[in-house]
Amino acid sequence: MKIRIRRPGQLGATLRELARRRPDEAEKYLDSHQAAWEELAGGDPHEAADILEAIDEEGAADLLQELRVEDAGDILDEMHPEAAADVLEELTPAEAAALVSEMETDQAVDVIGALELEERAAVFAALDGETAEEIEALLIYAPDTAGGMMTTDLAALPVGLSSGEAIEVLRQLHGDLGSNLRYVYVVDDGHRLVGVVPFRELVFARPHTGLDDLMETGLVSVRTDTDREKVAELIQRYHLIAIPVVDARGVLMGMVTVSEAIEAILAEISEDITVMVGAGAEETVFTPVGRSVRRRLPWIFFNLIGGIVIAALISRFQSTLTTYAILAAYMPIVALIAGNSGAQSVAVVIRSMAVGDLPPGRAGRAIKREVAVGVIDGTVMAILAGLLAAATVGVFQTGSNGITPLEIGAIVFISVWIAFLVAGLVGSGIPVMLRRLGLDPALASNIFLTMTTDIFGFAGFLLTATLLLN
């Protein structure tokens, strides 16, 4: 096949779009155009990673094997960890280990952590001792902590060096540091962090100036167990390119770069979205089917129990529904629009928590605000819904046991207004309550909200109708 390139350097973007729409064609093109694939992989690993994520794992593994291991490692650095792990599982342990050895340490840890246990053990056995030790040292940290995000490829120099000596040491280390030469961290004899020197200042300092004269001592750092949200917040607040990570004794363990912080923020956002609806916190389209099923089923079962509770409540009003069957037509309206209002409250509160705009002391004020919004929106929607119900009841109902437009309008108005009030209270209160319990504020918030609004929507509607009509 032929690919038309309109601008120089457009090959990667063109192939990426082709791979997303017709992955088989993109794979065949790259198989038959080895030189173009090698040029793309060496010049733009980001585009190459997107292409490999779009095609099947076996094809991606074959394409990686056609490249130099350095280029293949750069591409794996840019891939989603679980997608990269899927590709590595198509290779022999020795081939996978060779590629992992070329990756950035922090990225390699994420990919190794995404491998199945048997595959992980096989790859570890094939890694050289130093690389295996570095990766194992980082795997002990949870992926959502500073320790799980940090890289150990950083410049750390003893406090007694002069700037000239420091530059000479960094010149020798340059190949190992890669693009991580942003800050030079200064440590004492116990490798405890005592200061930092921006690389630019070190370069322009006089050769005999000591690091202790150049370094800044009032630096911001985080512990290995610091949550990734806090890490990202500090990097943003102090406009840092990277932040050092220390242990409980102040020993320098690594650093978290701004790119990792951005990834953490995106991960938190996506995690909140999936957790709100009961999917796994770290679940993606690359997660194995069995694992996704195990994570989702408990919450679906919880929904089933909630549905049975609602059915039981509705059955208590069987006589009302038997006498006034038209009520069944209007009943879903209340739960539908109230649920939408509550979902808006949940989203606003969780977003505010995620970006640090809602400290615990302001939680009560936020709930009052959402209740006020719910009351105002509920009043407007109750009036509109009541008027529409009154205007249409004559069209929908049949039989002698009819409801007058005034009656159905009053029932809908009251039940919608109450449901909106409850939706605002519950939608804002659930995340706050979960945070106070030490849980993720987004943890199945939408499921709890839906169950509550359905109960008040259906049962509240029927209770109102029973009280007004009997």
One DSSP character per residue, 9-57 reads T-HHHHHHHHHHH-HHHHHHHHHH-HHHHHHHHHH-HHHHHHHHHHS-H
Query: How large is the average pLDDT for residues 191-219?
Result: 89
Q: Alpha-carbon torsion 263, 268, 273, 275, what sign?
A: positive
How confident is the model at residue 277, as a pLDDT? 58
Element (H, E) at 254: strand 252-257
Distance CA 369, CA 379 (A): 15
Does 354 score more than 50 pLDDT?
A: yes
User: How confident is residue 130, by pLDDT bands cut at 50, 70 and 90?
Assistant: confident
For the stretch 37-46, pLDDT in tens is 988 888 889 8
pLDDT of residue 8: 41
Question: Which position has the token pair 């003893």?
Answer: 158
Average pLDDT, the chain: 85
**Where residue 31 falls among pLDDT bands split at 50, 70, 90?**
confident
* pLDDT over 80 (residue 1): no
> Per-residue pLDDT for 134 more than 90?
no
Instruction: Give residue-wise pLDDT tens across range 284-294.
Output: 666 677 777 77
DSSP 246: E
Q: Which two tokens stand for residue 419?
A: 């449901």
Token reading at 159: 């406090």
pLDDT of residue 13: 81
Other CB atoms within a 10 A radius of the CB of residue 78 amount to 17
Which run of H or E residues covers position 317? Answer: none
Q: Is 294 exposed, middle or buried (0-12, 13-18, 19+ CB in 10 A)?
A: exposed
Confidence band of 399 (pLDDT split at 50, 70, 90): low
Among 8-12, 21-25, 96-100, 458-462, which stretch is predicted with the lowest mean pLDDT?
8-12
Tokens representing 299 are: 């919450």
At 92, the pLDDT band (50, 70, 90 cuts) reads very high
Which residues, listed in sequence order, are joined to residue 254 by a DSSP beta bridge?
Answer: 245
Residue percentage of the chain with pLDDT more than 90: 30
User: For 366-376, what is each residue's pLDDT tens digit?
Assistant: 899 999 999 99
Question: What is the mean pLDDT of the segment spanning 342-360?
Answer: 80
Q: How far apart are CA 39 and CA 173, in angstroms?
A: 28
pLDDT at res. 179: 60
Of 346, 320, 425, 332, nearest to 378 by C-alpha is 425
pLDDT at 426 over 80: yes
DSSP string, 159-179: TT-BHHHHHHHHHHHHHHHTT
Per DSSP bridges, beta strands 183-187 and 155-158 are parallel
pLDDT at 276 (0 to 100): 59
Q: What is the mean pLDDT of residues 73-101?
A: 91
Supply the pLDDT for residue 5.
45
Enumerate domains of the chain plus CATH numbers. Answer: 11-140 (1.25.60.10), 155-259 (3.10.580.10), 289-469 (1.10.357.20)
The pair of structure tokens assigned to 420 is 């909106």
Query: Cβ of 267: how many Cβ atoms within 10 Å?
Result: 19
Of 13-27, 185-199, 314-328, highest mean pLDDT: 185-199
pLDDT band at 6 (very low <50, low <70, confident <90, very high): very low
Amino acid in the structure at residue 292: S
Determine the pLDDT at residue 263. Answer: 79
How sure is the predictor about 7, in pLDDT bands with cuts at 50, 70 and 90? very low
Take residue 452 and report the two structure tokens written for it: 């509550």
Lowest mean pLDDT among 38-47, 279-288, 353-362: 279-288
Contact 335, 458 (CB under 8 A): yes
Q: Are 194 and 249 in contact (CB under 8 A)?
A: no
Q: What is the mean pLDDT of residues 310-315?
A: 88
Kindly report which listed range (113-117, 313-317, 349-353) carries the lowest average pLDDT score. Answer: 349-353
What is the layout of strands, in order, in the sheet containing 193-198?
155-158, 183-187, 193-198
Q: Could you tell me what percent of the chain has a pLDDT over 70? A: 90
